[in-house]
Amino acid sequence: MSVKEIAGKMIEFDDDDFMADYTVWDQSVAEVLAKEEGIDPLTNRHLEVLDFMRKEFEENGTAPSIRKLNKLNVVPTKELYSLFPGGPAKKAARIAGLKKPHGCI
């Protein structure tokens, strides 16, 4: 575990650099994490995906996969890769303050 100060908050991260407690997340934290992932600025479309992922996590205890995001018509796969290049489910989950999705390396 490591601790980083982000947006005036001391936030714990696990060994994979995902937030340990998703409840301390807010949009200011998301903006910093997005910049760390090379995504700047966060658009409304990014935020739609992040909000959906957080809702799914709260309901099911796990971040949704790319397949589920596509199946539920949240965002088409091609657009998801455009919004979160190089590993969209993993990057989106990290920026949303969630744990690493199952099946991600």
Domain-embedded: residue 90: yes
Per-residue pLDDT tens digits for 6-64: 999 999 999 999 999 999 999 999 999 999 999 999 999 999 999 999 999 999 998 88
Of 34, 41, 102, 36, the C-alpha closest to 68 is: 102
Bridge partner list, 6: 9
What does pTM read for this prediction? 0.93
Looking at the predicted structure, is the pLDDT value of residue 98 above 80?
yes
Q: Which domain holds residue 72?
A: 2-95
Confidence of residue 103 (pLDDT cuts 50, 70, 90): low
Q: Is residue 76 part of a domain?
A: yes
Residue 101 falls inside a structural domain: no
| Residue 100, in any domain of the structure | no
Per the structure, the count of domains in the chain is 1
CB-based contact 69:49 (threshold 8 Å) = yes
Instruction: Please report where in the chains the tokens 């998801």 appear, as a residue.
Output: 80
104 in any annotated domain: no
Is the separation of the CB atoms in 46 and 83 below 8 Å?
yes
pLDDT for position 47: 97
For this structure, is 104 an active site residue? yes
